[in-house]
Amino acid sequence: MEGRKVSDSETVATHRALPSDANPAGNVHGGVILKHIDLAGAVCAMRHARGHTVVTASIDRMEFKAPAHVGELLILRASVNMVSSRSMEVGVRVESEDLLTGDVRHVASAYLTFVAMDENRKPTPAPPLILENQTHQRRNEEAKRRRELRQEERRREKLAQESMAHAAGSEPVRAKEFY
C-alpha cells in the first residue's frame, strides 16, 4: 500500500459560534467544540484513508485552554500524527478568532484515534504515513508514546475488571478492541 503525506490530509474547518452554541455562562458549550473536533478529525482521517470510511475509537487529552465566545469563529486544524497497523491518531487544535478585532487564541486541543473501515464495516489498514518535516516527526514520536500509554492503561483496566469479576464469581464482559 502506498503511503500518504501528512500534508495530503491536513484539514482546516471553521464554525461561527451562534447563540444556540452557548452554555449557561454565555460561552461556547464544550460539547459543541468537541463535536466540531470530532468532525474535523474524521475529515482528516478519511482524507488519509481515502476510499474508506472511518470511525472514532477514542478521544484523548481533550483540553479546554480558554473560553470561546458567541460570535467568534472557531478554527479547527487537524493532521494525522501516526498510523499503526489498526488505527491512526489525529491531532486537532482549536483556535477562536474575534472577527471584530482579529485577535486569535488557542481554546482547545485533542488527540483522536480513528479506525478505517472496509465496505463490510470491518477494520482495515490505513496507508502508511509519510512524515515531511521535523514537526511531523516530533508529533509522530509523541503519538507513539501516547499509544503505548493507552495500551498500558487498557491492560491495567482489563486486569482490574478480571480481578473484580473473579472476586464476584463471574466472567468479565470483553469489549472488542479495534486499536
What's at 76, amino acid-wise?
Answer: L
pLDDT tens track for 44-70: 999 999 999 999 999 988 999 999 999
Helices (H) and strands (E) in the chain, counts: 3, 7
pLDDT tens track for 108-129: 999 999 999 999 999 999 999 9
HSE-CB at 20 with a 13 A cutoff on CA atoms is 2
| Residue pair 143/89 in contact by the 8 Å Cβ criterion | yes
* pTM of the shown model: 0.86
Cα–Cα distances (Å) from 76 to 50, 97, 99, 127, in that order, read 20, 11, 15, 24
